[in-house]
Structures are given as C-alpha cells and as structure tokens.
C-alpha cells in the first residue's frame, strides 16, 4: 500500500515523457524542431558574436577564441543571424497554425521547451545586463549597498564585463532580485560563466509562471490559450531576449501575470502578494496593482455584499498593507532600503535610442530641423522627455478610472498603462515591450491583431544587434528590419483562418 503513490507518480511521469516523445516525432512538432535548430545556431554563433566576455578563458581553453575576431567573428555572426531568422520563421509558421486553429495548448508548451533547451547553454544574447546583475549581487555579497554605490566600488573580475555606462550606476532593481543575484554570486563566486548559467536558471520560474498564468487568464476572459501563449511565451522577444539575454523582466512578468490570474480566480490576497513580489523584482509591475484593486473591490461587493465605497477602501487598504509587508520582509532580508527607486530615473536617462516617442521625436527634430536651423539635440531631448513624463502622469489615472468595470477591462487597462509607460518613458530597451505583450496576450486574438504583433515583434528583434547595440542610425539596417517586419505581418495577415462551423442539420418547421 505504501508504494502506491510512488508508482502513481512514476506512471504520471512516464505518461508525460511518452506524450512528449510522441509529439517530438509528429508533424505537429515541425515548427518546434525548426525552432530548436534556430536556437542551436544562436547558441553556437553567440560564442563569438553574442554579448561575450572581454576576456574568456573558457573559449581559449577550448581553442575557440578565434570565433570572436576577423573571419571567425563573421562566421559567428552569420550563424547567429541564421539562428534568429530560423526562429522567427518557426514562430511565424506556428502563428499561421494558431490562426487556423490547428495548434493547441500542448503544442505551445512543448514547443517552448524545444526552443529554450539550447539557449540554456548560450552566452548572454543581445544584452550585457547579466554582467551588471552579477556585479550588483557581488556588491551585496561583499557588504556594499548596491543602492548607494555602483559596481566600480567593488573591483573584481565581474566588473571587467559590465558595460561602462553602468559601472557607476546604482541598482534600479527591487530587493527581491538583488537577493537572487547575491545568492548566485555566493554560490559561484566571481565565475562569470557559471553565474550566467545559474542566473538564467533562476529566470525559469518566471517563464513557468507566465505559461501557467497566460492559459488561465485567457480562459477566464473567453480567449484562446494557445493564441495567448504564442503571443507572449513563444515570442522571440521572450525566448531570445528575456531567456537568452537573461533579463529579470522574466521573473517580474511571470510573477505579475500569476498574481493577475489568482486575483481573477478569486484569490486576491495571493494575487496581490505575487504582484508585490514582482514589484520587488522590478517596479514596473506596480502598474498592475491599482487595476487589481478594482478586481478585488468587485469581488468584495458581489460576493460579500459590501457597499462600493467600503469595498474599495478595504481592497485598497489590504493591497497597500500586503505591498508594504512584502517590501519590509524583502528589504530586511537584503539589508537595504528603498534607494533603488531613485536609481530608476537616473539609469534610464543614460539610454538614447528610437524605441520611445520622446527620444524618437528629439532625433527627428534634430535630423530634419537641423537641415534648416541649428538644433541643440540634448536641449530638445530634455523637453520631449518632460512632455513624455507629463503624458504618463495624465494618462495613467484616466486609464485606471476608465477600465474599472470588469476583469476584461482591468486587463485592457493594465496593457494600455504599460504600453503608455514603455512608449513615453525617457528611454526603453527591446525587452521592455514584453511587459504590455504579456498582459495583452489574451486580448490579441484576431488575425489583424496577431499580424501586427508579429510585425512589431520582428522589427524590434531584428533592429537590435547581438552585442547589445542597435542599428537605428544605419539606413541599411533600418530598411532591412522594416522589410522583415512587413514580411512577418504579411505572412500572418494573409494566413487562412479556421472555417466557421455551421450546423448542417435540416431545420424542423
């Protein structure tokens, strides 16, 4: 009798493995196999063309350091971009199957595993942020406050790989993530390779939570879970940037979406608690909290009979108490305060690219206006960024008040709030766009919306370079990127849809 649970568990595992093996050799797995090839090419090409270390004894010991220079770098770049192209094609192929309703949830989840497996072994891709994370974790490990000093105050081998722009910048991340980074550096010391691998594994719970939550949120509002998974889990911005690039957004987005899903399922205390943990990773998740207060308010009103004003007051007070408790515990464990809040704006203003409206507007004014009269670019940039901040300050309360009536409206409100923030903050990076995508995934269900998502995601993916730079100042790169995005949009906009089911039975008069 005592062996029954073990036997049952073993049988369950065997069934899952058998199903996965059957899927792997089936026709349904063709996009999964193609994406696996693309991820393998990315991993191999990344050894030379990714966001590699400045000094890499591992490559030298394997006699592969030639991949980073001259003809070796050209070969690595070709392999890496071939991997990106292959993964994009696989994603679009799967997108066509989403549109014609021939791909289900299991296909999406299993495909995620196929595409992710090779990337677990890759160097950081399209960003050097991983090295900053490790250096900030080492600061806390070695007795420094990462909210007071930058990595430059703690010279070690980790500092050699941090982008110069971030060496003097204090950490803009919450205490929960700083604890994760400290934990990694305590285990591996200053070993960059082992630290990168372990830090990527620490992002996996975020991906698992995102998969779990996306399906449940989609079902809750009557949407297709498979389509939602395609939008926000298999999206190259998530698989390649968040997991391949090892970004803490993976943890933030997963925790936030799990919190939203639990709030919708009438577990608001746990939901708010997970959103608070997401805020303790990165502050952006806090945009979801005011909308979840509306969700909790409706539940108190409808299930417990509280008057609207009392229900709102109780939901607000309880949410703030949970948020404060989570931060008190996380800050106490990390031994830090709230200094990371001031670092949010300080770090952002150092980035200048075309991914936000204020910076794009300043670049256009400088480029076009400069042909006619003298333009002070930084003066214009300061003004456009102030206008952007004012836009956010005005838009967020209006969105919060407008989208308060139903759970679906709450999801729309959070999506729009995050989109406004990403578009109008002083500066953004490609993986920032995963914030609104994750929340809006259950809302992006029609063919035109899916096609637009494919085009925009492809544009952002191709515009960024493997070493973390961008190609926005090269007309050739911009035109090539735009052509790829247009092709992605076209491939899905003209994809055949599933036939409408009709009742062929004869009518009875």
Per the listing, tokens 């030639």 go with 66
Q: Per residue in 449-493, pLDDT tens?
A: 999 999 999 999 999 888 777 888 788 999 999 999 999 999 999
**Is residue 388 scored above 60 in pLDDT?**
yes
* C-alpha span between 116 and 112 (Å, rounded): 6
**Is residue 509 scored above 60 in pLDDT?**
no
Radius of gyration of the chain (CA): 24
* C-alpha span between 457 and 329 (Å, rounded): 37
* C-alpha span between 133 and 180 (Å, rounded): 9
What pTM was estimated for this model as a whole? 0.91
* C-alpha span between 23 and 271 (Å, rounded): 34
Locate the DSSP E strands across 145-278: none
| Structure-token pair, residue 498 | 């599933």
Residue 199 · residue 188 · CB < 8 Å? no
pLDDT at 4: 46
Q: Per residue in 63-112, pLDDT tens?
A: 667 667 788 888 988 999 999 999 999 999 999 999 999 988 999 999 99
* C-alpha span between 188 and 108 (Å, rounded): 34
**Is residue 399 scored above 90 in pLDDT?**
yes
Q: Per residue in 166-218, pLDDT tens?
A: 888 888 899 999 999 999 999 999 888 889 999 999 999 999 999 999 999 99
* C-alpha span between 290 and 299 (Å, rounded): 15
Tell me how far CA of residue 267 lies from CA of 263, 271, 284, 412, 507, in angstroms: 5, 6, 22, 20, 46
* C-alpha span between 269 and 272 (Å, rounded): 5
pLDDT at 127: 86
Q: Which residues, in sequence order, are CB contacts of 38 under 8 Å at separation 6+?
A: 82, 83, 84, 85, 86, 87, 88, 89, 90, 115
503 versus 401: the higher-pLDDT residue is 401
* C-alpha span between 166 and 263 (Å, rounded): 37
What burial letters (b/e) apply to 264-300, b meaning 16+ CB within 10 Å? beeebeebbbbbbbbbbbbbbbbbbbbbbbbbbbbbb
Look at the alpha carbons of 249, 254, 256, 260 in this order and tell me if their dihedral is positive or negative. Answer: positive
Quick one: 95 exposed, middle or buried, by C-beta within 10 A (0-12, 13-18, 19+)?
A: buried
Residue 100: CA count within 13 A, CB half-sphere: 11
pLDDT at 172: 86
Residue 439 · residue 411 · CB < 8 Å? yes
* C-alpha span between 162 and 127 (Å, rounded): 11
Quick one: 360 exposed, middle or buried, by C-beta within 10 A (0-12, 13-18, 19+)?
A: middle
Q: How many residues are listed for the chain in this entry?
A: 509
* C-alpha span between 145 and 140 (Å, rounded): 6
Nearest to 82 by CA among 41, 120, 123: 41
* C-alpha span between 29 and 6 (Å, rounded): 31
Give, as one character, the DSSP assignment of residue 496: P
Q: Per residue in 327-336, pLDDT tens?
A: 999 989 988 8
pLDDT at 169: 84
Mean pLDDT for all residues in the chain = 88
Residue 101 · residue 108 · CB < 8 Å? no
296 versus 429: the higher-pLDDT residue is 296
pLDDT at 15: 84
pLDDT at 472: 81
Can you give the three-state secondary structure of 36-60, one letter per residue? HHHHHHHHHHHHHHCCCCCCCHHHH
């Amino acid at each position: 009798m005592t062996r029954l649970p073990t036997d049952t568990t073993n049988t369950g595992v065997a069934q899952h493995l058998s199903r996965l093996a059957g899927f792997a050799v089936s026709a349904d797995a063709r996009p999964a196999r193609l994406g696996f090839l693309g991820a393998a090419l990315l991993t191999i090409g990344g050894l030379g063309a990714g966001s590699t270390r400045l000094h890499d004894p591992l490559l030298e010991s394997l006699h592969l350091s030639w991949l980073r220079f001259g003809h070796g770098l050209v070969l690595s770049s070709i392999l890496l971009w071939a991997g990106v192209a292959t993964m994009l094609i696989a994603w679009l192929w799967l997108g066509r199957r989403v549109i014609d309703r021939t791909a289900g949830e299991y296909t999406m989840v299993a495909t995620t595993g196929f595409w992710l497996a090779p990337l677990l072994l890759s160097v950081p891709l399209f960003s050097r942020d991983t090295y900053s994370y490790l250096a900030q974790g080492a600061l806390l490990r070695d007795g420094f406050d990462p909210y007071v000093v930058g990595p430059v105050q703690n010279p070690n081998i980790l500092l050699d790989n941090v982008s110069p722009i971030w060496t003097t910048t204090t950490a803009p991340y919450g205490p929960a993530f700083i604890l994760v980074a400290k934990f990694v550096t305590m285990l591996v010391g200053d070993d960059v390779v082992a630290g990168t691998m372990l830090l990527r594994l620490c992002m996996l719970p975020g991906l698992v939570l995102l998969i779990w939550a996306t399906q449940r949120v989609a079902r809750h509002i009557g949407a297709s879970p498979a389509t939602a998974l395609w939008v926000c889990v298999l999206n190259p911005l998530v698989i390649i940037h968040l997991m391949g690039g090892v970004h803490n957004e993976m943890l933030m987005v997963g925790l936030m979406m799990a919190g939203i899903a639990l709030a919708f399922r009438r577990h608001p205390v746990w939901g708010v608690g997970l959103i608070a943990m997401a805020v303790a990773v990165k502050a952006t998740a806090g945009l979801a909290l005011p909308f979840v207060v509306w969700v909790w308010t409706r539940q108190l009103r409808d299930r417990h009979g509280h008057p609207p004003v009392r229900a709102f007051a109780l939901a607000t007070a309880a949410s703030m108490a949970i948020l404060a408790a989570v931060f008190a515990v996380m800050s106490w464990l990390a031994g830090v305060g709230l200094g990371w809040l001031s670092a949010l704006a300080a770090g952002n203003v150092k980035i200048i690219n075309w991914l936000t409206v204020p910076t794009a507007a300043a670049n256009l004014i400088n480029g076009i206006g400069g042909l006619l009269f003298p333009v002070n670019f930084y003066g214009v940039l300061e003004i456009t960024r102030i206008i952007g901040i004012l836009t956010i300050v005005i838009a967020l309360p209006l969105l919060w008040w407008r989208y308060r009536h139903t759970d679906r409206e709450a999801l729309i409100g959070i999506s729009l709030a995050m989109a406004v923030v990403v578009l109008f903050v002083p500066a953004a990076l490609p993986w920032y766009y995963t914030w609104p995508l994750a929340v809006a995934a259950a809302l992006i269900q029609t063919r035109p919306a899916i096609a637009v998502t494919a085009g925009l995601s492809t544009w952002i993916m191709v515009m960024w370079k493997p070493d973390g730079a961008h190609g926005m100042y090269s007309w050739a790169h911009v035109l090539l990127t735009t052509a790829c995005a247009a092709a992605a949009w076209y491939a899905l906009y003209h994809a055949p849809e599933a036939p409408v089911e009709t009742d062929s039975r004869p009518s009875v008069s």
